[in-house]
Amino acid sequence: MYQVIYMFTNFKLKLLQKKRDKNLDKRDTSQLHSQVKTIAFVIDEDDFKAIETLDTIASSLGIEKENCQVLAFQEYTKKVALKKYQIHHKQIKWNGTIDNKEAKQFLKQPFDVLIGFYNGEHPYLDFLISESVARFKVGLKSSDLRLFDLQIDVKKLETTAIITELIKYLQVLGKVS
């Protein structure tokens, strides 16, 4: 029984990878150099609990709290949601459709900067990042290079290092003053 479930899970992940690759091929980069007025984060809620850290990062970039959004991914459904936008793996179907109205709304918003706040490759989060229409995407170290326009080499709990690196690179790119 477990072998069948494992087989279908692997099949689903392979199909999500194909859909992710298609999304990367059709990505619009025409607004890549726009100024930062809105910011969004995609996080793994099971791995990251300090939501207030994200508000600190946004405010240090001069972004107001109402222009900062978070999409939290959960491996398993919980009763208490940390943020408005939340999705779990069962809401991402095998063919790449998303069965979550709030997550779809989040992914269709043209954020100026989207930060994938997770280390390494994560099939579901990588797929969500590829589905987003954000103008500029930032990832943490050891992520899939094709998904992000900028990768910073910091640990996700080092708030001051993240702020320093983000400000440094976004200033060089002319996205913040």
pLDDT tens, residue by residue, 121-149: 889 999 999 999 999 999 988 788 889 99
Q: Which of 143, 152, 101, 140 is nearest to 123 (CA)?
A: 143
Q: Which residues contact 136 (CB under 8 A, 6 or more apart)?
A: 32, 34, 36, 112, 113, 114, 149, 150, 175
pLDDT value, residue 3: 63
Report the candidate in 96, 176, 98, 120 with the shortest Cα–Cα distance to residue 88: 98
Between 64-68, 76-80, 123-127, the lowest mean confidence (pLDDT) is in 76-80
Q: Give me the residue spans of the domains in the chain.
A: 2-172
What phi and psi values does residue 124 have, to the nearest 5 degrees? -75, -45
Q: Which CATH number fits domain 2-172: 3.40.50, 2.60.40, 1.10.1760, 3.40.1000?
A: 3.40.50
CA pair distance 70, 84, nearest whole angstrom: 8
Quote the pTM value. Answer: 0.85
